[in-house]
Amino acid sequence: MGAELAIRNLHVKVEGNEILTGVDLTVRAGEVHSLMGPNGSGKSTLAYILMGHPAYEVDEGEVLLDGENILELEPDERARKGLFLAFQYPTPIPGVSVADFLRTAVSSIRLGPSEEGRTTELIPMREFRKEIRERMTELDIDHSFARRHLNDGFSGGEKKRAEILQMSLLKPRIAVLDETDSGLDIDALRAVADGVNRQLSSELGVLLITHYQRILNYIEPNFVHIMVDGRIVQSGGPELAHELEAKGYDMVKDLV
Ligand SMILES: Nc1ncnc2c1ncn2[C@@H]1O[C@H](COP(=O)(O)OP(=O)(O)OP(=O)(O)O)[C@@H](O)[C@H]1O
Ligand SMILES: [Mg+2]
């Protein structure tokens, strides 16, 4: 069955301030939704709450994945249910290679969590190496990349490619991509968009957070939503992104 992520009347507080003020949004497998909105409108907050970031507090509302409320689940349990989040600002982990990190992450999703006193079971090295090489070739990533330390000294474009590589290995059912296009040159944007497009299927739903219409030329959304002051004030088709590009956020000012 295709996944369905349903966000209902979601209110979220950060350090006492209400940041999300009633978000309603449903993303189904096979759909690409683009979420746009001015700086500070709450887009990343929504992404973080979906993944279970501890600093964010849900005041009201629910988030259902296939009808099950996921707000009580730990981040790794959400990931195991098929939720994937690519962060706007990925964290460097010096000392851990890309390959080691991905092998651990993918093993924990596929083979189950590590139990108390026992380290995570790992996918056999040979099998994983073959798989990661195939994915890197598809994404036009140099194979030496796998030996580098995760996000340590990575360029903006390399970080984004690493995330799309991770997504291609984890094969999520719902992916939330927060500004996957920011800081990318034209070739990298195309490579990242191709990487996402290659994964699009009737089994995957995507929530693509972005500021610019440009990436939507490559990853075509079915729906575009505009968030202002912590809620979605307008939804439409791809034409809404073009209209926004032409008119700016003045066009939704009166809707707030
Ligand atoms: N940990 C935090 N502590 C205090 N305020 C926070 C925290 N996280 C987010 N905020 C505030 O919440 C609001 C929404 O931030 P958020 O990062 O969700 O916006 P955004 O829409 O992703 O913006 P951008 O387009 O700039 O990425 C901002 O005013 C921000 O300062
Ligand atoms: Mg953001």
Q: pLDDT for 86-136, tens place per residue?
A: 765 556 667 788 898 899 889 888 887 766 656 668 899 999 999 999 999
> Is 55 near ligand 1, meaning CB less than 6 Å away?
yes
Q: Which atom of ligand 1 is nearest to the CA of 45?
A: 18
Three-state DSSP state, 90: coil
Residues 84-109 as b or e (16 or more Cβ within 10 Å = b): bbbbeebeeeeeebbbbbbbbbbbbb
Q: Which two tokens stand for residue 214?
A: 């440009």
Question: pLDDT (tens digit, 9 = 90+) per residue, 34-79?
Answer: 999 999 999 999 999 998 888 888 999 999 999 999 999 988 889 8
Task: Please tell me the distance between residue 206's alpha carbon and the centre of ligand 1 in angstroms.
Answer: 21
Residue bearing the CA closest to ligand 1, atom 26: 39
Residues 181-204 as b or e (16 or more Cβ within 10 Å = b): bbebeeebbebbbbbbeebbeeeb
* Strands laid side by side in the 205-209 sheet: 83-86, 174-178, 205-209, 32-36, 223-228, 231-236
Domain at 4-253: CATH code: 3.40.50.300
- Pocket probe for ligand 1: among 12, 14, 18, 23, the residue whose CB has the most ligand atoms within 8 Å is 14
Question: CA–CA separation, 53 vs 68, rounded Å?
Answer: 19
Q: Which two tokens stand for residue 159?
A: 């970080």
pTM (two decimals): 0.91
Alpha helices per DSSP H over the chain: 43-51, 75-80, 98-111, 125-138, 156-170, 186-199, 239-247, 250-253
Question: CA–CA separation, 21 vs 204, rounded Å?
Answer: 27
pLDDT at position 215, please? 87
Question: pLDDT (tens digit, 9 = 90+) per residue, 171-190?
Answer: 999 999 988 777 788 888 88
Question: CA–CA separation, 233 vs 84, rounded Å?
Answer: 25
Q: Which two tokens stand for residue 187?
A: 């070739």
What is the number of the ligand closest to the CA of 87? 2
Largest CA distance in the chain: 58
Identity of the amino acid at 129: R
151 and 162 in contact (C-beta within 8 Å)? yes
Task: Please tell me the distance between residue 194's alpha carbon and the centre of ligand 2 in angstroms.
Answer: 23
What average pLDDT does the segment 149-164 reach? 82
> Is 45 near ligand 1, meaning CB less than 6 Å away?
yes
